[in-house]
A and B are shown apart, each in its own frame.
Chain A
């Protein structure tokens, strides 16, 4: 613990401001330090100043912002005051940043090897002739396949996880002492995320680099960092060793943030934090968390609480730190499937096949088979009142299934039957309006699914006018009632989506779907664009509305932890094929398919045991040609015949079938690790 301090921020204040003057602080009187070789995680919701802080650590202050006071000292050099030449030498050299989305940070028309070599040219003394070998070595270090030839590829030829690894290789090229990570795995699949985090942990151990990781995901921070700083409204509100903070958070905000994370072990919808972080210019004399705090007291509004030591090495900025261990939360009845299994399903999918691309006229004329199917021989039922979770990685065909059901994507083969009689394989233009009304889709990103030029009233009026022929006054009344249902007040009617926060926008999108009074709700990753703190409230809302209106809900997500918190049943999808279908509880406690097991192992929970095997969840020989099980290439329990023979479904008796040779052979579900 007596390692030298490598990086220190002293009373840093960065405020919004321009020529006319300085406004409210974005980063407010913040101090922290990182020892060499240590890893610090900075957590908080979006809008708390994390990104501004991270940029300041690179010695960059965005235009529109102003560095007001304080220091940012890297090895004795003040990055915010030194000249550009010196800062430029440190940036990319001794301080390296791994951006949130390396795919966007790479230049699309330059080979990745050349982009890495540029860092070598700028920040190392290596002779030009040694660059190629060094690039290859770096690519090998980040465990990319075929490091010899990969450098000649262009960014678009690589997958998201591979690009993130290239980003890491680029950061490593300058032999950094300090690695800054900006949400390093956000947007990646859980299994890919696990691989990246394992890689980062190994690199840190081998090279003795210090790391500062900014993330809204405490699971990522718990896996990677040994110290945590929780940030709220530009200030640190709690710091300390990861284990202590995550086990015994003392600040109400840290506790709320932790409680908002869905956990496999508890199997219920986590609690959410009401409201959102204050805008920097919002006048709040006291603790800036006070308006949202569940334990607020009168003196909280009196003045800002400074960080004060708490226990061994924990620091908390709160007048009334919560010292008891976890509060017990009311156990919500979750996993009871309300439906009588004998009732006929509302949506019955059998043998569904869908292609990625629309078939060309020529292909149809020549009876050419489509190249690759996004979804193949998929059979699934959805009952009234049921929430069915559909889990899979990106590219597994989850969204394609939803689009096929809603008629936006042509069905190649198979049946989709609605309410026993209605055929749903026809495109949206040929469906009856009342059928369209009964099936509603909610999209992933409310920024894109709400028209930025329509007021909330216009947005909600569209389905109401289309399906119900209401008068203007009735539309307004219904729209108000709908807003109330999604817990927004009527004052939102005349706002534009741009005036709302992400969570509020998604509520509006949900209200629009329920405006049609549907029987089936299709949710396409509806929480993945939102903060963890907001996600919980959206899940609760979907649950409440689904129960209240007795609708069937197909909830698609890449995150098993989210799905199991909400769903009655879960279907696991891999490359367009179902692997396993069963009750949510039994999927999580007794998975029958190796893929489900890998997904479960990839779920990061902040209070899990550190030091577990983070790479072993999945194999990486993805290129294997398989005529049998599609998962054979990545399966850890692969048998001889997995690659040659298609496995059969078995295990129907227990209501939890899976498609795996292992299960068919032994009939014994896999034990959890």
Chain B
């Protein structure tokens, strides 16, 4: 709302149709008009709801083994069939993403925090410090990710408490690249120069001048990272370095089903559908989000 100053005739009247400060509502509305974005959002929402309320709706206990019903094909009693140990595949599929999603969410937050701050700071500092840190990052990125993680898993062990910091650190590395390249666009802008000329401290420039400009693209890119991380955790579980059995996990389930895939395809198909639909759904939703936020998706560093 504009308060006019009537006494000063030279006061310029503000524009009448003031725009709201954060047009988030309109952006969400635009996201909902995009069909693929809407589909993605629906898939992700379904997954989140199942992850949250899964334990309340599953028909069986995930560890309950029924020796009389081993490798049953899908039926009314077991909609998705049973596995080699007679466990209900539906139950394990519904619950199979919980652990991975929890790990990835916390790890993404960690990655975003340190990677984002380090990346923006490096863009601002520049010079030889930037050069040295980025070359170290290059060297670490050159290592195959799975080897990188396995070294740490070997040292710290498996399980949620070990996986969260490992993933948070290893994925933060690519966030450094993302944040740095996003911030580089702004460090040469006059408003940063103006802040430097004022004598603003470096952390003020990082948090007040650069972060608000980088935030959108960083958020979208990092959400994409989350879906890559889900795949990563599942791969680790598949290899036996991730979520330890008997916990239900898509990666573990696919690993267990590997030998019997031709005889009992349902043991592999359902976790695979669950995993890929989550990854695809996330990608669709955040692609649309990136478009509405005006973030260039192609500028993201190579996903792992």
A-to-B contact residues, CB < 8 Å: 274-275, 406-408, 428, 431, 433, 436-437, 440-441, 443-445, 448-455, 458, 462-463, 466, 484, 487-492, 494-496, 499, 504, 512, 516
Contacts and interface: CB of A to CB of B under 8 A. Distances in A.
A489 B197 contact: no
Given A445-B190, A453-B213, A428 B199 contact: yes
A484 B191 contact: no
Contacts of A451: 191, 209, 212-213
A441 B3 contact: no
Interface stretch (B14-22, B90-98, B235-243, B285-293): B14-22
A496 B21 contact: yes
Given A445-B190, A449-B191, A495-B19, 7 more contacts: A428-B199, A450-B191, A463-B198, A484-B5, A487-B10, A489-B14, A499-B18
Contacts of B199: 428, 431, 433, 436-437, 466
A443 B21 contact: no
Contacts of A408: 193, 196-197
Given A451-B191, A491-B14, A428 B197 contact: yes
A408 B190 CA distance: 12
28 contacts: A275-B13, A408-B197, A436-B198, A440-B197, A441-B194, A443-B190, A444-B190, A448-B189, A449-B193, A449-B194, A451-B209, A451-B213, A454-B208, A454-B209, A458-B208, A466-B200, A487-B10, A487-B11, A487-B12, A491-B1, A491-B3, A491-B14, A495-B14, A495-B18, A495-B19, A496-B19, A499-B15, A512-B194
Contacts of A466: 198-200
A487 B19 CA distance: 21
B2 interface: yes
B12 A489 contact: yes
Contacts of A407: 197
Given A436-B198, A462-B208, A489 B2 contact: yes
Nearest to B14: A491
Contact of B5 (A431, A437, A490): A490
A443 B198 contact: no
Which of A444, A451, A504, A512 is most buried by chain B, counting CB atoms within 10 A of its CB?
A: A451
Q: Is the interface of B mostly helix, strand, loop or mixed?
A: loop
Contacts of A463: 198
Contacts of A274: 10, 12
B13 A489 contact: yes
Nearest to A500: B15
B213 A406 contact: no
Contact of A275 (B12, B19, B208): B12
Given A275-B12, A453-B213, A494-B21, A489 B3 contact: yes
A491 B12 contact: no
B4 interface: yes
A441 B200 CA distance: 14
A462 B14 contact: no
User: Which of B14, B193, B198 gathers most chain A CB within 10 Å?
Assistant: B198
Contact of B190 (A431, A437, A449): A449
Contacts of A448: 189-191
Given A451-B191, A491-B1, A499-B19, A462 B200 contact: yes
Nearest to B194: A449
Nearest to B211: A453
B162 interface: no
A518 B5 CA distance: 26
Contacts of B3: 489-491
A489 B4 contact: yes
Contacts of B5: 484, 489-490
A436 B197 CA distance: 7
Contacts of A489: 2-5, 11-14
Given A428-B197, A441-B197, A487 B191 contact: no
Contacts of B15: 499
A274 B8 CA distance: 13
B291 to A, nearest CB: 17
A31 B92 CA distance: 74
Interface in B1-48: 1-5, 8, 10-15, 18-19, 21
A499 B21 CA distance: 10
B195 interface: yes
Interface string B177-214: 00000000000011101111111100000001100110
B197 A462 contact: no
Contacts of B2: 489, 491
Contacts of B190: 443-445, 448-449
A403 to B, nearest CB: 8
Contact of A484 (B8, B19, B193): B8
A252 B208 CA distance: 45
A407 B196 CA distance: 9
A316 B207 CA distance: 55
* Among B1, B10, B14, B21, residue most surrounded by chain A Cβ atoms (within 10 Å): B14
Given A448-B189, A462-B195, A455 B1 contact: no
B21 A492 contact: no
Contacts of A512: 194
A437 to B, nearest CB: 8
B30 to A, nearest CB: 14
Interface in B243-301: none
A487 B8 contact: yes
